[in-house]
Amino acid sequence: DWLGSVPNLGMSAEHGCFFRSPGQEWINLLEKDDLSWKKEVSEIFDYYTERTQGSFIEHKSSSITWHYRLADPTFGEFQAKECQNHLENAVLSKLPVEILVGKKNLEVRPVSINKGGIVARLIEAAYPECDFVMCAGDDKTDEDMFRAIQRNPLLDDSSRVFCTTIGSATKKSAADWHVPSPEQ
C-alpha cells in the first residue's frame, strides 16, 4: 500500500518467497513446492520452546523461525546451539532446507529461496529502466543480497547502487554503506 504507486518498483518479501516485478502482480515462488518439511521442523522447535521459557515459534509462508530473544540470554544461546545441532542431524541431510542463524533466532527455509537470487531477478526485470538500486538490511541473510548486487554485470555504474547495512559500525558486511539504525 505504501510503495505500490512508485513506478518501476520491484519488490520481494520473505527472503524472496514472494516476488513482484515492476508493474506486475505479486507471485508466490513456492506455490507449487512441497512444504511438508515444516511439520518435522515445527516438532523440533516445539520441543525447544517447551524447554526454553520466553522462546516462541513464528510460522511464515516460506519458513519457520524459533525466537529466543525473550529467554534468559545464556540459556537461550545454549538451547539455540542444541536446537541447531538437532536440526542439522535430523533434517538438513534429508530435506531441501537450510538453517539461518540470526539475531536470537534460528530460521529454517527452503534452499531454493534466498535474497541474493531474488535481487538478481528484480534487477533483470527492471533493467535498463532502473534509475538506482537501494538495498538495506540488518542481518546475515542480507549479505547474499549485497554480494549479488555488487557482482551483477548490469549494474556497472556504482554511483547509482546503494547497499546499506544497518547496525553496529563494527559489523562486517559486503555493503558499502552503513547506518546505525533503521530511522537513520
How does pLDDT run across 85-119, given as a tens digit for each residue?
999 998 888 888 889 898 899 999 888 777 888 88
Query: Are 176 and 163 a contacting pair, CB within 8 Å?
Result: yes
Mapped onto helix, strand or coil, the DSSP state of residue 109 is strand
Query: Are 170 and 148 a contacting pair, CB within 8 Å?
Result: no
Q: What is the pLDDT along the chain (184 residues), one digit of tens a residue?
A: 777 677 777 778 877 788 887 778 888 888 778 888 999 999 999 999 999 999 999 998 888 999 999 999 999 999 999 999 999 998 888 888 889 898 899 999 888 777 888 888 778 877 777 778 888 988 877 888 899 888 888 887 777 888 999 998 888 999 999 999 988 8
Give pLDDT, residue 61. 82
**What is the end-to-end Cα distance of the chain in Å, rounded?**
22
Say whether pTM exceeds 0.75.
no
All residues at 6 or more sequence positions from 67 whose CB lies less than 8 Å from its CB, including other chains: 55, 56, 57, 58, 104, 105
Mapped onto helix, strand or coil, the DSSP state of residue 64 is strand
Look over the chain and give the mean of its residue pLDDT values, rounded to a whole number: 87
Whole-angstrom Cα distance, residue 110 to residue 86? 17
Residue with cell 531477478: 121
The grid coordinates of residue 179 equal: 547506518
